[in-house]
Amino acid sequence: MALIVQKFGGSSVANAERVMNVARIVTETYAKGNDVVVVVSAQGDTTDDLIAKAAEISAKPSKREMDQLLAAGEQISIALLSMAIEKLGFPVCSLLGWQAGFSTNSVYGSARIKKINTERIKVELSRKNIVVVAGFQGINRYDDITTLGRGGSDTSAVAIAAAMHADRCQIFTDVEGVYTADPRKVKNAVKLSEITYDEMLELATLGAQVLNNRSVEMAKKYDVVLEVLSSMTNAPGTIVKESVKMEKMLVRGVTKDVNVARISIIGVPNVPGIAYKIFGKLAAENINVDIILQSVGRNDTKDITFTVSADNCEKTLEVLRGLELTAGLKIEYDDQNVAKVSAVGAGMETHPGVAASMFKALFEADINIQMISTSEIKISVLIDKADADKAVAAIHDAFIPDSKD
């Protein structure tokens, strides 16, 4: 007998028919003699709809009340799925995040899991129940409800698999696995049979929504092998693990992120310590800075340009304007028209020329590059948002074998 964690995303439980379909998958696994813990997200667009409802009431609701609201989505889906499992004649018990023992810190809206007390889940499993847990939520030290950030149910599932040393952690979604690009946008994207944690982490962080990046970080940390697969077909999915057999592919995925803002500070003094003052302050305010570009100083001044997530643009501008050394300087920003397109692959670490091939593909597609950043396993470019899909397709065609037919 094995312990299996199965997670189902919003589209997998979007309506009654799909909830029944998930109930069948879960009960088939249980009927084979396994212990099953199921993690579910809110149905369909419920979370977005709740956010829209909040906006009808207030432009700036408190983050505590926002989490109180958003957690309701998963409460609905665990109850409905449990009813469907009951209907099929199987024993089941649904648990909210706090009932399942999820303790988090108090950063409402993007809380981090501190600990899971798995006692209750274990009791329910020992009673032979299928356990259905609400993803995306936990409770903080003040006994208040918190949520883990968008896509956070993936992290809930991995956390349970890690805490309970599950034998398998299956992430069911609405595509058949992890592809070389978003299969809804790039028709010739290829399904990967395996991908490393490091590659998946980069892809998830750089915009591939199929897995939440914190869930991949946690899977790597606790060595939880993930299986990403479709809840709608029986096709084999993608295995995410530490190392995979070397393939010829230099690039394993191409992705875009449109939640990006570019900020420039023009004419800062050309003296030591400026970058430290600016980025030290941004770090202290918990603002993640991504690509940074500094010009060579001329006539005693230099320019610094960097990117942050578009959500953080306003806060970043506030911090910059509050800095003494930027008073009177020109600050330019664009949080509407830029996108970051990235190619990811462990193979590029040992192969020179990947960047050049990527720039060639962009040149041939007549796409202008505004900024570039590289690491061992990824190359990102900042470009016009209007060109993003075209850029993904061009880079994908240049690197992914068999993707052009």
96: three-class secondary structure by DSSP: coil
Give the type of residue at 239.
I
13 binds ligand ADP (CB under 6 A): no
The conformation of residue 296, written as its DSSP 8-state character, comes to P
Query: Whose Cβ is closer to ligand ADP: residue 206's or residue 383's?
Result: 206
# chain residues binding ligand ASP, by CB under 6 A: 13
**What are residue 138's phi and psi, to 5 degrees?**
-155, -160
Interface with ligand ASP in residues 52-91 (CB under 6 A): 73
CB of 181 to Mg ion, least distance (A): 17
**What are residue 191's phi and psi, to 5 degrees?**
-75, 135
Query: Whose Cβ is closer to ligand ADP: residue 29's or residue 231's?
Result: 231
Stretch that binds Mg ion, among 6-14, 74-82, 224-232, 323-331 (CB under 5 A): 6-14
Question: Quick one: which of 73, 151, 152, 345 contacts ligand ADP (CB under 6 A)?
Answer: 151
Partner whose binding site includes residue 182, from Mg ion, ligand ADP, ligand ASP, none (CB under 5 to 8 Å by kind):
ligand ADP
| Segments of 177-335 assigned E as strands | 194-196, 226-230, 238-241, 253-257, 260-269, 292-294, 301-309, 330-334
197 binds ligand ADP (CB under 6 A): no
Distance CA 203, CA 178 (A): 10
44 binds ligand ASP (CB under 6 A): no
**How crowded is residue 386: how many other Cβ atoms within 10 Å of its Cβ?**
11
Partner whose binding site includes residue 253, from ligand ADP, ligand ASP, Mg ion, none (CB under 5 to 8 Å by kind):
ligand ADP
Query: Whose Cβ is closer to Mg ion: residue 178's or residue 393's?
Result: 178
> Cα–Cα distances in Å, from 201 out to 38, 204, 239, 346?
23, 5, 13, 12
DSSP code string of 103-161: EE-S-TTS--EEEE--HHHHHHHHTT-EEEEETTEEE-TTS-EEE--TTTHHHHHHHHH
Partner whose binding site includes residue 150, from ligand ASP, ligand ADP, Mg ion, none (CB under 5 to 8 Å by kind):
ligand ASP
Query: Whose Cβ is closer to ligand ADP: residue 18's or residue 262's?
Result: 18
Stretch that binds ligand ASP, among 39-47, 163-171, 247-255, 291-299 (CB under 6 A): 39-47
Distance CA 226, CA 307 (A): 31
Stretch that binds ligand ASP, among 108-116, 148-156, 310-318, 341-349 (CB under 6 A): 148-156
9 binds Mg ion (CB under 5 A): yes
Stretch that binds ligand ADP, among 7-15, 219-227, 267-275, 362-370 (CB under 6 A): 7-15
CB of 150 to ligand ADP, least distance (A): 8
Distance CA 200, CA 198 (A): 5
Distance CA 288, CA 307 (A): 9
Q: List residues near ligand ASP by CB under 6 A.
A: 9-10, 41-42, 47, 73, 135-136, 150-154
